[in-house]
A = this chain, B = another copy of it.
Amino acid sequence: MTDYHPMWEDLGMDVETHDQLCAVLPQAFGDVYLSQENRPDAMAFWDMVVGEIHGIRPAELIEAQKNGQKVFGTFCVFVPDEVIIAANGIVTGLCGGSQFWVPAGEEVLPKNTCPLIKASVGARLGKTCPFFRIADMYVGETTCDGKKKAYEILAEDVPMHIMDLPQMKRECDYKKWEDEIRKFIKVVEDFTGNEITPEKLADAIKTVNAKRAAMKRVYECRKADKLPISGKDVLLMSQIAFFDDPKRCAEMCNKLADECEQRIADGVSVFPEGTKRIMITGTPMAIPNWKLHHIIETSGAAVVCEECCTGTRYFENMVDESGTTLDEQVTALSNRYMCNNCECFTPNPGRKEDILRLAKEYNVDGVIDAHLMFCNLYDTAGRGVASALADANIPCLTIETDYTDNDAEQLRTRVQAFIEMLD
């Protein structure tokens, strides 16, 4: 394995503290992932990526920067990657998924902030994540109170552009989001020095759509009676998709889909027959947050779908590729991104419709509505989700959790009781 310490030092990282993270991650990954039996061979790619998660891709990004490319760090699936890619920029996700980063975040944020935000800010301020060091510009959005205010803190030492996401979904709001995308195009053009032409944007739209289509193929395989892949493995694929090159991501997801489709044809499954099928809905699960999936899949059930930003919301809905002018393309982008039924919107009936639709498509036995602690949006929406599922006679368990292991045993007990109840 390459020694990335010189690179991390060049990035101005706190290498000593970062070594502590590097020391625990392989054990965690081994326990959660490598302990699984009969995994698809194609997962070797993602195992390799996680094995050197702060090495391989950061090194690629630094190389790209040397060639004049700019790296944009994002925190939300509303930011249109297509715009960045069209300007020869590179997108990297920045959401923090580890408790390791939370204490540094709590130095500047209230403890009553969701762990994802605390981890993200902590990873920046603690200088313990190369992606946060590499990104030339951060792109934020107005999706929740916590992020809005956290961006002000991050903006103190990194160039930050904020996109104002409308908080409703009327026709005028689709137009407002178009305006924000137009502003973003200008910002990205100025920052990269590259003009975004309709041709380049068309290519970028195709690239990202292809990535979505590839991810969707893998997800489609989870609709099979005999599940060819674990929920944990698909979650890992989705998590890494935020960091990887989109073309390679599509290639690897397609390879994985090929294998999963073959497994379905061959009747190969990673779960025993009759394993209960769980859909998770709620807040995102940023890498390396594998907590809930691990508990569910070591409690006798399988996760077959994630209705969340690290799940269906990331790849569902394609951008219309027929536009030939920037105006048409911007409209197409807005129309696609505004399909996302994040709870930041009020009202937000679309999410309940998505949950019921996906529960049927993936033939689920029960739904776990899981929120990161202090996410008021999803917590408050939980009542309506539970009620919609009750009306449809679909069992639902609502949980609130964070990145610590403190509640792991309690969660396991609740999840096991829920799964038993599904019999």
Q: A interface vs B, CB < 8 Å? A: 108-110, 112-113, 140, 142, 144-146, 148-153, 155, 162, 164-168, 172-173, 176, 179, 343-344, 346-348, 373-374, 376-377, 379-384
Contacts and interface: CB of A to CB of B under 8 A. Distances in A.
A363 to B, nearest CB: 29
16 contacts: A110-B379, A112-B374, A112-B376, A112-B379, A142-B346, A145-B376, A145-B380, A146-B376, A146-B380, A149-B346, A152-B381, A153-B380, A162-B168, A162-B346, A165-B167, A167-B167
A148 B379 CA distance: 12
Number of copies of this chain that the complex holds: 2
Contacts of A149: 343, 346, 376-377, 380-381
Contacts of A347: 151-152, 155
Contacts of A145: 144-145, 344, 376-377, 380
A383 to B, nearest CB: 6
B110 A152 contact: no
Contacts of A166: 164
Nearest to A113: B376
Count chain B CB atoms within 10 A of each CB in A112, A144, A380, A384 and give the residue with the most.
Answer: A380
A325 to B, nearest CB: 22
A353 B87 CA distance: 38
Given A113-B380, A162-B168, 20 more contacts: A108-B383, A112-B112, A112-B374, A112-B376, A113-B379, A144-B145, A148-B344, A149-B376, A151-B347, A152-B346, A152-B347, A152-B380, A153-B380, A153-B383, A155-B347, A162-B346, A164-B167, A164-B173, A172-B179, A176-B176
